[in-house]
Structure 1
Amino acid sequence: MTLDWTIPKGTVVLVTGGTGFIGAHCIQVLLENGFRVKAAVRSKTKGEQLVKSFNKYESALTFGIIEDVSDYYSLVRLAEGCSGILHLASPYTYAVKDFAKELLDPALKGTQTVMEAAAAHKSIKRVVITSSFAAVFDATKGLQPNVVLTEEDFSPLTYEDGVNASDPAVAYRASKIVGERAAWDFISQRKPSFDISVLCPPMVYGPLATTELLSSLDNLNFSNLTIWKMATSGSATPVPPTKGPVYVDVRDLAFAHFRALVVPEAANQRFMVSAGDYSNQQICDDLRDNLSTSRAKHVPIGTPYQNTEPEHFTTDSSKAIEILGVTFRPIKDSVLDLVNQLYSYIE
């Protein structure tokens, strides 16, 4: 029932990271459900491209320019008149040299600034934080066969661990838990008039909400670029090992964001949003079985229908299913829709 929604239909929701892979899908779901959206973007060009992508919604989507999401005064101005915030903007790159400056500080200060900006406006009732499976998983424990990970699990990494990390992957994982903990600390210490909801997705796959924002395939988000490169690498190419063996479709994740924003029971709750296990061999099998012949011939054959991956942890998203009403697409739908979309883009 929309009458019970925490955020009233027709009101304005601020979305940080709105031009990103997940953010654009979140904007689409919000618009489809009768909300107005204000996207925080880094440039006028990006903002205009975003608005053009959703032009059928006319004036329901606007944008404001903010080069740095940790810019408090700019973010406060953008948040004025909003009823909720989806905070997705956070660095995701391993091509870094200064872990603190390029990963940890943007994640930490970005979240802190979003929380402060929300506190500056009594109209804001909820902030949804996009965290990560990286904030759940303790990589020092290995693959943990027979272990079921849920939203009750937290990475033990600290800011100092990230700064002193031996490689960017550890620093990135630290940035996610540090950013998330900043939100929980704000709630417990400041007790603001708004509440939060935190989502922890694993690898995110699926088609783009729009190709309008895609300048070239080289600029695809990391997870989808990995799929595209594998799907076009050639039949004799070995199937690469699966590095992140749990996934969620971007469309299901976007729906989870929407529901986390409006469902009263999501207040100050954390959710694992994972569809379950997959392997790269399974993806290749699905693509070869379902793509057209001209496209399927470029997909690695590997060892068809055999799972040669080591045993690993599983995930339990029953809380998200029960409270948010999320359902999960199979990995086949995610990768097929993506690969066919990208072939159409280049042809």
Structure 2
Amino acid sequence: MPALNSGLVLVTGGTGYVGAWVIKYLVDNGYDVVAAVRTAAQGDFLTNRFPAYSGRVSHAVVPDISKEGAYDDAVKDVDAIIHVASPLLYSWEDPQEVIGPAVAGTSGILKSATTYGAKVQRVIITSSASAVCGFMTDKEYDENDWNLADLNTEHTKTSSPLAVYNTAKTRAEKAAFDYVRATQPRYDLVTLLPAFNFGPYIHQPGKHFGSSPGALLAAFPVGGETSGALVAGFVDVRDSALLHVLALKNAELSGERLINANGVFAWQDLYDILNEAGYDAPGKDTKGAGEKKHMKLLLRNNKTFKYFPDFKYRGLKESVLDMAVDLKSGGYLT
């Protein structure tokens, strides 16, 4: 695919934490956007979010992304697709409520692009660093790795939400590459694999904040996590979103996977940052304990700098403090 420096881009998941930033950076970089949303009200919020959006952002209502042909109309006349949408639920009766829509939505948008997206040149799918690896595995990982453990796990009602999410993202990304290999469509495929996203938010969160900030807030009641049960990669949500836009501009990325991460963290690291800044976070008696866990996991981000040598990731402290300001003003964090 030649570099795509302008045009109309379909963004799914634009009402979410990452997707809203993707839309902002697309507009800032001269693209027009059609956002696939579940309701007209969500679409109205997006199209009115910033003054610069006037005449640049429209929306298409897609109530159920797992429905056959859900994106058939939305892909018409667009030059590229950025598929961010994926379920993230912290409770469910059946793990297939998460896994099924993730796989069906990803496969479905590729099928729609093949049949009805005559102008589509590139599809970018937001996968996850969890599709490369799980947690606490004492190994160095890059884009050649796949999370085979979660890929091959059949989950039950008692499975952890994060494990189910990992499986959903891994299976969805695998399905995307399998489809492209089998059908050889006119467009090319790129997948981006962000780690835990932290940073400020510009979308309209619900009562229970989802995404990575929601995972942090959900961890607060259990106190400071210092056992090493979770060590994962992190990326600032603004950096993650910008990389989606840069991926449209780079012709050499065709067929690539790209990890978006700037290091690893334990929950205690976040608590330390928040406590130092005067927030009432857990882990006051275990300050610094998270640092002992960092060598348990290493995500290599070399490919980011191979394709974007001038790119600079934000650090964890900046991301967490900027996020905390928004969470506090939104009433999520004291």
TM superposition score normalised by structure 2:
0.88
Instruction: Give the aligned partner of residue 323 of structure 1.
Output: 307
Cα distance, 1:277 vs. partner? 1.5
3-state DSSP class of the match of 2:26?
helix
Cα distance, 1:320 vs. partner? 1.6
Cα distance, 1:163 vs. partner? 5.2
Equivalent-residue separation in structure 1 for 2:95 and 2:326 (angstroms): 35
Equivalent-residue separation in structure 2 for 1:90 and 1:309 (angstroms): 29
Match of 1:304 among 278, 283, 287: 287
Match of 2:123 among 91, 106, 127: 127
Match of 2:209 among 203, 220, 229: 220
Contact 2:265–2:294 at 8 Å: present in 1 too? no
* 1:117 is aligned to 2:112: yes
- Relative to structure 2, which stretch is displaced further, 193-202 or 88-97? 88-97
Equivalent-residue separation in structure 2 for 1:94 and 1:299 (angstroms): 21
Contact 2:14–2:20 at 8 Å: present in 1 too? yes
* 1:269 is aligned to 2:256: yes
* 1:24 is aligned to 2:20: yes
Equivalent-residue separation in structure 2 for 1:228 and 1:202 (angstroms): 17
Cα distance, 1:273 vs. partner? 1.1
Contact 1:247–1:274 at 8 Å: present in 2 too? yes
Equivalent-residue separation in structure 1 for 2:270 and 2:325 (angstroms): 14
Cα distance, 1:275 vs. partner? 0.8
RMSD: 2.5
**Compared with structure 1, are the counterparts of its residues 227 and 167 closer, same or farther at alpha carbon in structure 2 (3 Å cutoff)?**
closer
**Compared with structure 1, are the counterparts of its residues 21 and 310 closer, same or farther at alpha carbon in structure 2 (3 Å cutoff)?**
closer
3-state DSSP class of the match of 1:286?
helix
Cα distance, 1:6 vs. partner? 2.4
Number of equivalent positions: 326
* 1:334 is aligned to 2:319: yes
TM superposition score normalised by structure 1:
0.85
Cα distance, 1:134 vs. partner? 1.9
Q: Structure 2: which amino acid aligns with 1:313?
A: L
Structure 2: which 5+ residue stretches go unaligned?
A: none
Q: Structure 2: which amino acid aligns with 1:314?
A: L
Equivalent-residue separation in structure 1 for 2:56 and 2:148 (angstroms): 41
Contact 1:162–1:172 at 8 Å: present in 2 too? no
**Compared with structure 1, are the counterparts of its residues 168 and 97 closer, same or farther at alpha carbon in structure 2 (3 Å cutoff)?**
farther
Q: Structure 1: which amino acid aligns with 2:112?
A: A
Determine what percentage of the aligned residue pairs are the same residue. Answer: 26
Match of 1:199 among 192, 211, 215: 192
Instruction: Give the aligned partner of residue 7 of structure 1.
Output: 4
Contact 1:137–1:153 at 8 Å: present in 2 too? yes
Contact 1:37–1:61 at 8 Å: present in 2 too? yes
Equivalent-residue separation in structure 2 for 1:58 and 1:66 (angstroms): 22
3-state DSSP class of the match of 2:59?
strand
Instruction: Give the aligned partner of residue 43 of structure 1.
Output: 39
Equivalent-residue separation in structure 1 for 2:69 and 2:183 (angstroms): 19
Contact 2:274–2:280 at 8 Å: present in 1 too? no
* 1:252 is aligned to 2:239: yes
Contact 1:135–1:176 at 8 Å: present in 2 too? yes
**Compared with structure 1, are the counterparts of its residues 58 and 185 closer, same or farther at alpha carbon in structure 2 (3 Å cutoff)?**
same
Equivalent-residue separation in structure 1 for 2:52 and 2:32 (angstroms): 13
**Compared with structure 1, are the counterparts of its residues 308 and 238 closer, same or farther at alpha carbon in structure 2 (3 Å cutoff)?**
farther
Q: Structure 1: which amino acid aligns with 2:315?
A: P
